[in-house]
Chains A and B, each alone.
Chain A
């Protein structure tokens, strides 16, 4: 599934800002990043690339069925 784990998060919030599709949020209690809306992940990896501590891993599969034109 798209963005699939966040491990070692330092709670800086950079990934939340950097995600074009608003997939990640900081958990109100822990202050750490959580995958809040995985269905909207466009698998672009910006969150992973901007993360200062390489906490994010991403898989190429989309978490919801994919509509394509042909193929």
Chain B
């Protein structure tokens, strides 16, 4: 029987009712228009003409990828250091990633603080149980005031919307910014970085960038979670860099933000008006925040967890170092209350529960901090700020690939550690690192000639970039993402960890990696973006499970029910992940006080 005959037979054997049941929704309606000709409920109903793709090539010294706080400073300071800079972003300058929603920035003013830089660094290290890299912790504090002063000059503190203030220094310097271009590939030639490639979200156009150096300011990522504004962050930079041989770290840590039970996906509503506020600065305030306490309480006691006075908390759970117990316990609220009120993405306010209740309305508050019931996994898939991303080989954000740098949440600098420590240090760290890293890149490009990229490299990248559009059938990225979420988001996988469940989840993720990822389809440019984002999330999910399985202890935001204690003997180390020569994911330990071996 020929293929055609076989399809016809199958079609006849399928009643219209069955067909509707299978297809459902929009896809069903679309396919129905062609019923009687062919059953094509899985067909990629392409909306664009593949023959029409044009391509352009741009050249620069430093390519900055990402338009948030790190990208802003990388572009400005790289330019000021004498390099030709080009910025490319998936979204709009100051209006994508997490930057638009971060409202508090730490400014260390030596004249006003009672702690020295060394004392501050030691305090962070105590809270982070040694998981921070003190070089980056100190660097962030040391340069934070200079960056805050730059931001003041540009008008950053005058509006809740950052595009105008970010545009000021960029426009003054005539730095080219290309927005709404999703970079899908980093390009390495002759062992060094040579550029990047991506596609436009608005026209059928591929963009090739030749660059002597690339600074990744692509942020971190999550699993497009419900309740935290990171649905455009899918670890794109990390995964692209991993694919060309960069080392990645920090995948076992988790940001423990919870959300509200009322409309958990409503980021704006969950933050109680904070997004409407202009940003402000804050001073030294070191915590042990965004860990697993709320998840542990929900796991042991059942859910939902409420954070109002009189709530009960579960016995045991994640270890909190002396001196960093949450103040909430004293006021009667549970230690297991969802964290988040004190994270760096809001101005410093009263500690949670200081006034016996949720944060005051004036200050706004993080999701889950209202007296109403909370939900979990608001930021699922994301690690603690600055603790996941490319492994730096030095204090300048350089990766193990010559010319490839990262800054901000795309750099695994461990500035805060495996737990969120200094309030407002996330935004400050991105600003400080963006500047330092790009100045290092500007120095690097001085001795480098413009790389050439072979036509065979370009054509193979194009093929891989557009593959989801070319597939006549396959899996829609939205469905694969929801399936991934169903595997990775439940509390008992990445928050309250156990070996057998992580192994089970890994089996599912390997299935998505081996079968579904290669069959992701896209009908238009929006879906093409989703397809690449979904693929990146699958790779990150595998990294998170493997790193969490390897770390046989509990510390900071990594909590294992089967290894509940801190293991000072075996785990004074971070985990680096890289692609082995056989294409398999490899993991290695790197001691806390060492840079990676070259």
Binding site for B on A (CB under 8 A): 17-22, 36-37, 39-40, 42-46, 49-50, 58, 60-62, 64-71
Contacts and interface: CB of A to CB of B under 8 A. Distances in A.
B526 A71 contact: no
Contacts of A60: 262-263, 266, 268-269
Interface in B94-142: 95-97, 100-101
B156 interface: no
Contact of A43 (B268, B373, B478, B485): B268
Contact of B267 (A44, A61, A69, A71): A44
A36 B526 contact: yes
Contacts of B510: none
Centre residue among A39, A40, A44, A58 by max chain B CB count within 10 A: A44
22 contacts: A17-B91, A19-B91, A20-B100, A22-B201, A40-B231, A42-B231, A43-B263, A43-B267, A44-B268, A49-B161, A50-B163, A60-B262, A60-B266, A65-B482, A67-B482, A68-B259, A68-B489, A69-B489, A70-B304, A71-B259, A71-B261, A71-B374
Given A22-B180, A71-B298, 13 more contacts: A20-B95, A39-B478, A43-B269, A44-B275, A60-B262, A60-B263, A61-B263, A67-B489, A69-B377, A69-B491, A71-B259, A71-B264, A71-B304
A55 B383 CA distance: 36
B95 A58 contact: no
A36 B104 CA distance: 33
Query: Which of A19, A43, A62, A64 has most chain B Cβ within 10 Å?
Result: A43
A68 B485 CA distance: 9
Contacts of B376: 68-71
A67 B299 CA distance: 17
A14 to B, nearest CB: 9
A31 B100 CA distance: 27
Interface of B is mostly: loop
B380 A69 contact: yes
B89 to A, nearest CB: 10
Nearest to B261: A71
Contacts of A49: 160-161, 275-276
B398 interface: no
CB-based closest 8 A-B pairs: A69-B377, A71-B375, A69-B376, A60-B266, A62-B265, A70-B376, A60-B263, A20-B232
Interface of B: 91-92, 95-97, 100-101, 160-161, 163, 179-180, 201, 226-227, 229-232, 259, 261-269, 275-276, 295, 298-299, 303-305, 373-377, 380, 478, 482, 485-486, 489-491, 495, 526, 529-530
Nearest to A47: B95
A66 B268 contact: no
Of the candidates A62, A65, A69, the one having the most CB atoms from chain B within 10 angstroms of its own CB is: A69
A23 B329 CA distance: 42
A23 to B, nearest CB: 9
Contacts of A61: 263, 265-266
Nearest to A42: B231
A66 B530 CA distance: 18
B530 to A, nearest CB: 8
Contacts of B490: 69-70
Contacts of A44: 100-101, 229, 267-268, 275
Contact of A68 (B100, B230, B264, B268): B264
Contact of A66 (B163, B231, B265): B265
A68 B264 CA distance: 8
A39 B527 CA distance: 12
Contacts of A37: 526
A26 to B, nearest CB: 9
A36 B268 CA distance: 20
